[in-house]
Structure 1
Amino acid sequence: MLQCDFQFQHADFTLNAQLQMQEQLLGIMGPSGSGKSTLLKNLVGLLQPQQGFIRLNERALFDDLHRLNMPMHKRRIALIFQKAWLFPHMNVQQNLQYAEKLTLQVAQKFQYTDIVDLLELQPLLKRRVHELSGGEAQRVSIGRALLSSPDLLLLDEPLTGLDRRLKSQILPFLNNVKTQTKLPMLYVTHHAEELEYLNAQIMYLEQGKLIT
C-alpha cells in the first residue's frame, strides 16, 4: 500500500513523515498546526518534499535520489477537502460523470450506477450545486472522488463544518465506502469518535512527527 519517508520544510515548520500503511483505513489525529493537511498535500502532489520518498503499491510517486516527482494527475490519489469542491456550473450528474470521463475505461474501479446507489445520490442528480446542503455536497464530492478510480482516498477533515445531524448522515456512507469498495483510505480529523465509528487504526501527528 502506502510507504513514505520524507521531509518537508516551510519557514520554521518541518514535517518528518515516516509511514507504512498496511491497513485499509488509517486515521491521523493531531492538533491544529501539527502538519495533518501538509502531509496529505505532499502525498497527493500539491506540495513537494525536500527529500525522501513516497511509494504507493510499490510505484514511486516521489524520490529525491532519482529526481522523481510524479505529477498530481498521474498519482491516482483522490483528496476530499473540508468543504466540498464541485463545479458550480454543472449539476450533480455532470459533476460525477466528469470524473468518470477522465478515467480510462480499462482503469475504472467503480461504475457510475454503483456509486450513485452506494451514496444514495439518485434524488440529487439533476440538482445544481447551489441547491445542495453541506452534507449532500460532501456526498457528491465523495462520489466524484471514487469515480476518478483512485488507488488511495485521502480525506482532510471531511465532516468539519457539518452539524451533528449531518455528520451522523455522512458517517454511514463513509463506512459503506470502506466496507464495500475496499479502497485504502487515509482519514485526517480532530474527532476521535469519527474514527471509532469507522473502526480505523489511529496514528498521531505531533509537531510534524507521526507516532503510534
Structure 2
Amino acid sequence: MLQCDFQFQYTDFQLQARLQMQEQLLGIMGPSGSGKSTLLKSLAGLLQPQQGYISLNQREVFNIAQKINVPMHKRRIALIFQKAWLFPHMNVQQNLQYAENLGAQENVKFQFEQVTNLLELKPLLKRRAHELSGGEAQRVSIGRALLSQPDLLLLDEPLTGLDRRLKDQILPFLNTVKEQSTLPMIYVTHHGDELDYLKAHILHLENGQISF
C-alpha cells in the first residue's frame, strides 16, 4: 500500500502530506486551493516535493534524502483527470492498446477483454475521441488507466463537468472496479455523495494539512 510523508512548497502555499493508506478506496475532500490536486500530482510524479518520501508496496518512488525520483511512467501510478485526455488520432481500441503495451507485463492485473466488458466499451472501440460523449470518454480514460497495470489509481474529481445522468452512469462502473479488483484507489472530490456511494474511507484536506 501507499506510505508517504512529504512537503511541497509553492510560493506562499505549503502541502504537508503524511499518509499510511490501508483502505482499498480512500476519499479526499477539501475546498478549492486546499492542495488536493497537488497531492495527487506529487504522488504520480508530475510535481516534485522539496522534502520527504513516497513509497508504494514497499518500493520507494521518491525520496529526497536518497535522491530517488522514479519517473511518472515507471511509478505504476495512474492518474485520471477531470477531463478525459485521449489521443485524438487514435480510436478507442488504439487508445486502450497503447496503455496496454506500456503496462508492466510481469504483473498483469487487467486484461483487455476484462476491461472492455467491465466498462462496456466494446460498442465504442472503433470510435475516435471526438465521437464520444463526456461519460463515454471518461470510461475510456478509466479503461486506459487500468490497462496500464497500475499499483495505485488516482482520480482527480473525475466526474466534474458531467451532468447528473452521466455521473450516475460512471459511478457504478467505478464501484464495479472497486468490487471486482483489489486495486487501491484515491478519489478526490468536492462531493461527499460520490464517496458515500463508493463506501470510501474519507479524509479531509484544508490549507495543505490532512485531517483524519
Q: TM-score by structure 1 length? A: 0.99
SS at 2:109 equivalent: coil
Contact 2:155 2:187 in 1 (8 A): yes
- 1:143 paired to 2:150: no
- The equivalent of 1:107 in structure 2 is 107
Q: Distance in 2 between matches of 1:174 and 1:26?
A: 13
Structure 2 partner of 1:130: 130
User: Given residue 56 of structure 1, which amino acid in structure 2 is its aligned partner?
Assistant: L
Q: 1:194 to 1:151 in 2, by over 3 A?
A: same
Q: Contact 2:5–2:19 at 8 Å: present in 1 too?
A: yes
Please give the alpha-carbon distance, in whole angstroms, between the structure 1 residues aligned to 2:109 and 2:202: 27
In structure 2, the partner of 1:36 is 36
Which deviations, in whole Å up to 9, do the C-alpha atoms of 1:73-111 show, x marking residues without a partner? 110000000000000000000100110011243222110
**Structure 2 residue identity aligned to 1:55:** S
* 1:68 equivalent in structure 2: 68
Match of 2:50?
50
Q: Give runs of ≥4 in structure 1 deviating > 6 Å.
A: none
Number of residue pairs the alignment of both structures matches = 212
1:158 aligns to 2:166 (yes or no): no
Unaligned runs of 5+ in 1: none
Whole-Å separation in 2 of the counterparts to 1:200 and 1:154: 13
Deviates more, 1:64-73 or 1:188-197: 64-73
> Any stretches of 5+ residues in structure 2 without a counterpart?
none
Aligned counterpart, 2:121? 121
Tell me the TM-score normalised to structure 2 length.
0.99
Paired letter, 2:54: I
Q: Give the RMSD, CA atoms, in angstroms.
A: 0.7
Three-state SS of the structure 1 residue aligned to 2:43 is helix
What is the rounded CA distance, in whole Å, between the counterparts of 1:149 and 1:191 in structure 2? 28
Is 1:77 the equivalent of 2:77? yes
The sequence identity of aligned pairs, in percent, is 75
Residue-by-residue CA offset, 1:100-143 (whole Å, 9 max, x unaligned): 01124322211000000000001101111100000000000000
CA distance in 2, matches of 1:40, 1:88: 25
**How far apart are the structure 1 equivalents of 2:144 and 2:108?**
13
In 2, Cα distance between equivalents of 1:41 and 1:104? 21
Give the drift of 1:187: 0.2
Any idea what SS the aligned residue of 2:205 has? strand
Q: Which residue pairs with 2:169 in the alignment?
A: 169
Q: Deviations over 1:128-178 (max 9, x none)?
A: 110000000000000000000000000000000000000000000000010
Residues 104, 149 of structure 2: 8 Å contact kept: no
